[in-house]
Structure 1
Amino acid sequence: MQAPLTLLAPAWSEAMTRWLDQRRALDGAAAKTVEAYRRDVAGFLGFLAQHRGGADGVHTLTDLPATDLRSWMAAERARGLSARSLARSLSAVKGFLSWIADRDGGDVTAVLQARGPKYRRRLPRPVSVEAATNLIDMVGEQARDPWVAARDEAVVTLLYGCGLRISEALSLTAAAHPLPEVLRITGKGGKERIVPVLPAAREAVARYARLCPFDLAPNEPLFRGARGGGLNPRLIQSVMEKARMQLGLPATATPHAMRHSFATHLLSAGGDLRAIQELLGHASLSTTQAYTAVDAARLMEVYEKAHPRA
Structure 2
Amino acid sequence: MISSAARDALQGWLDARKALGGAAENTIDAYGRDVAGFLAFMTEHRGETQGLSALARISVGDMRSWMASVRGQNVSARSLARKLSAVKSFYRWLSEREGFEPTAVLATRSPKFQRKLPRPLSAEAARDVIETVEFQHDTPWVVARDQAVLTVLYGCGLRISEALGLTGRNLPLDEVLRITGKGGKERIVPVIPAVRQAMARYLALCPHPQADDLPVFRGVRGGKLNPRIVQKLIEGVRLQLGLPASATPHAMRHSFATHLLNAGGDLRAIQELLGHASLSTTQAYTAVDTARLMEVYQATHPKA
TM-score by length of 2: 0.98
Give unpaired runs (5+ residues) of structure 1.
Answer: 1-6
Count of paired positions:
304
Q: Amino acid of the residue matched to residue 170 of structure 1?
A: L
Please say which of residues 60-69 and 181-190 is displaced more in the overlay.
60-69
Question: For the residues of structure 2 that align with 1:121 and 1:167, how far apart are their CA atoms?
Answer: 23
1:243-258 equivalent positions in 2, closer than 5 A? 243-258=237-252
Please say which of residues 37-46 and 18-27 is displaced more in the overlay.
18-27
Do 1:152 and 1:236's aligned partners in 2 also have CA atoms closer than 8 Å? yes
Q: CA RMSD in A?
A: 1.1
Structure 1 runs, 4 residues or longer, greater than 3 Å off: none
Do 2:144 and 2:198's aligned partners in 1 also have CA atoms closer than 8 Å? yes
Question: For the residues of structure 2 that align with 1:226 and 1:254, how far apart are their CA atoms?
Answer: 22
1:21-36 equivalent positions in 2, closer than 5 A? 21-36=15-30
Question: For the residues of structure 2 that align with 1:146 and 1:230, how far apart are their CA atoms?
Answer: 18
Per the TM alignment, residue 175 of structure 1 is displaced from its structure 2 partner at its CA by 2.4
Per the TM alignment, residue 302 of structure 1 is displaced from its structure 2 partner at its CA by 1.3
Residue 197 in structure 1 maps to residue 173 in structure 2: no
Per the TM alignment, residue 34 of structure 1 is displaced from its structure 2 partner at its CA by 1.0
Deviations 1:157-189 (A, max 9, x none): 000000000000000002222211101101011
Please say which of residues 85-94 and 168-177 is displaced more in the overlay.
168-177
Q: Amino acid of the residue matched to residue 130 of structure 2?
A: I
- Give the % identical residues: 64
Please say which of residues 300-309 and 164-173 is displaced more in the overlay.
300-309
Q: Secondary structure at the match of 2:83?
A: helix
1:1-310 equivalent positions in 2, closer than 5 A? 7-307=1-301
Deviations 1:167-218 (A, max 9, x none): 0000000222221110110101111000000100001001000000011112
Question: For the residues of structure 1 that align with 2:51 and 2:142, how far apart are their CA atoms?
Answer: 58
Per the TM alignment, residue 117 of structure 1 is displaced from its structure 2 partner at its CA by 1.1
Q: Amino acid of the residue matched to residue 180 of structure 1?
A: D
Per the TM alignment, residue 139 of structure 1 is displaced from its structure 2 partner at its CA by 1.6
Q: Amino acid of the residue matched to residue 81 of structure 1?
A: V
Per the TM alignment, residue 309 of structure 1 is displaced from its structure 2 partner at its CA by 5.6
Question: For the residues of structure 2 that align with 1:33 and 1:166, how far apart are their CA atoms?
Answer: 17
Give unpaired runs (5+ residues) of structure 2.
Answer: none
Deviations 1:84-117 (A, max 9, x none): 1100000000000110011111111222111011
Question: For the residues of structure 2 that align with 1:97 and 1:115, how far apart are their CA atoms?
Answer: 15
Q: Secondary structure at the match of 1:140?
A: helix
Do 2:144 and 2:202's aligned partners in 1 also have CA atoms closer than 8 Å? yes
Question: For the residues of structure 2 that align with 1:28 and 1:87, how far apart are their CA atoms?
Answer: 20
Q: Secondary structure at the match of 2:7?
A: helix
Residues 46 and 309 (structure 1), Cα distance of their counterparts in 2 relative to 1, 3 Å cut: farther
Do 2:21 and 2:184's aligned partners in 1 also have CA atoms closer than 8 Å? no
Question: For the residues of structure 1 that align with 2:126 and 2:239, how far apart are their CA atoms?
Answer: 13
Residues 308 and 167 (structure 1), Cα distance of their counterparts in 2 relative to 1, 3 Å cut: farther
Per the TM alignment, residue 308 of structure 1 is displaced from its structure 2 partner at its CA by 6.1
Q: Amino acid of the residue matched to residue 256 of structure 1?
A: H
Do 2:2 and 2:50's aligned partners in 1 also have CA atoms closer than 8 Å? no
Do 1:177 and 1:206's aligned partners in 2 also have CA atoms closer than 8 Å? no
Per the TM alignment, residue 140 of structure 1 is displaced from its structure 2 partner at its CA by 3.0
Question: For the residues of structure 2 that align with 1:60 and 1:201, how far apart are their CA atoms?
Answer: 57
Deviations 1:43-72 (A, max 9, x none): 000000111101242132233211111110
Q: Secondary structure at the match of 1:183?
A: strand
Do 2:3 and 2:49's aligned partners in 1 also have CA atoms closer than 8 Å? yes
- Which residue is 1:3 aligned to? none
Q: Secondary structure at the match of 1:151?
A: helix
Question: For the residues of structure 1 that align with 2:119 and 2:160, how far apart are their CA atoms?
Answer: 16
Do 2:39 and 2:50's aligned partners in 1 also have CA atoms closer than 8 Å? no
